[in-house]
Amino acid sequence: MSRGFFITFEGLDGSGKTTQLRRLAAALEAEGLRVVTLRQPGGTALGDRIRSVLLDSRTESELGGIAPTAEMALMFADRAQSLAHVIHPALAEGAVVLCDRYTDSSEAYQGAGRGLGSERIRAMHTAVCDGFQPELTILLLPPLEGSLARARRRNERNVRTRGTDENRFEREGDEFYRRIYDQYVEIARRDSERVVTIAEEASIETIAERIRAIVRERMAQ
Ligand SMILES: Nc1ncnc2c1ncn2[C@@H]1O[C@H](COP(=O)(O)OP(=O)(O)OP(=O)(O)O)[C@@H](O)[C@H]1O
Ligand SMILES: [Mg+2]
């Protein structure tokens, strides 16, 4: 059985994950590789339902709030579904799978942001995902203030133009995001083989070129 290559993109809201994932997908496809992209939460029909519950800022008023442990469990339910229905099948066929967020996001947002702790997230990852990790994680970690401002502007624009509302997390305060940022730094330190951090503010093109170089080198190994 052939085996593909699994890459995840991580970072705060507005750090450029989706932008860079699309760039990388286009570059790899141009080289003739088969590429499968998805985002978490989302990426499956079930996952899209879970995504709208988790990210919509109207969830609180409509459903009466989500317990942090329920939020964690829903994130992992989504992840289990995309592993079973998208990620594992694509890798088995030899595709390059690019995933916008994965378990590092749960450790950063639910573990540190919501205060559930890394141990609980890592235990869930073992139980639900068999501890399955990507070959490579691109962590986009520019200075906190810039990326948050970008994400908030982008979301306000989407509410106006498309009627979609994914502001539930963006309403959190700066301390919430500081904890997430610090946890990402800790994950990168701990899993230094898997995680490559891009911390500088640079143009989309400059960062895209760096990512292509990193991916080329890792895939050649
Ligand atoms: N290096 C960059 N310099 C300037 N602007 C950028 C850069 N990278 C991305 N942007 C812009 O910042 C905004 C947010 O980028 P993007 O949607 O890719 O972030 P994200 O990490 O996917 O955010 P989210 O987690 O909220 O989905 C977009 O409008 C994008 O065009
Ligand atoms: Mg995005």
Tens of pLDDT, residues 65-87: 899 999 999 999 999 999 999 99
Q: Is the CB of 14 under 6 A from ligand 1?
A: yes
- Which domains are seen in the chain, by residue range? 5-220 (3.40.50.300)
- Quick one: pLDDT at residue 61? 86
List, run by run, the mean pLDDT of 10-residue segments along the chain (221 residues): 87 94 98 97 96 88 91 97 98 98 98 98 98 98 86 83 77 89 98 97 97 97 88
- Quick one: pLDDT at residue 2? 54
Ligand 1 atom 18 nearest Cα: 16
- Quick one: pLDDT at residue 217? 97
The torsion angles phi and psi of 195, rounded to 5 degrees, stand at -100, 125
Query: Distance, CA 2 to ligand 1 centroid (Å)?
Result: 34
CA 199: distance to chain centroid?
Answer: 16
Q: What is d(CA 13, CA 151) in angstroms, rounded to the nearest whole number?
A: 6
CA 33: distance to chain centroid?
Answer: 22
Mutate-to-test residue for ligand 1 from 8, 150, 205, highest number of ligand atoms within 8 A of CB = 150
- Quick one: pLDDT at residue 1? 43
Q: Is the CB of 15 under 6 A from ligand 1?
A: yes
- Asked whether residue 11 is marked as a ligand-binding residue, the answer is yes
Q: What is d(CA 47, CA 39) in angstroms, rounded to the nearest whole number?
A: 9
What confidence tens digit (pLDDT) does each residue in 142-184 have?
Answer: 998 888 888 888 888 888 888 777 777 777 888 999 999 999 9
- Asked whether residue 12 is marked as a ligand-binding residue, the answer is yes
Query: Distance, CA 28 to ligand 1 centroid (Å)?
Result: 20
Concatenating the DSSP letter of every residue in 164-194 gives ----TTTTS-HHHHHHHHHHHHHHHHHTTTT
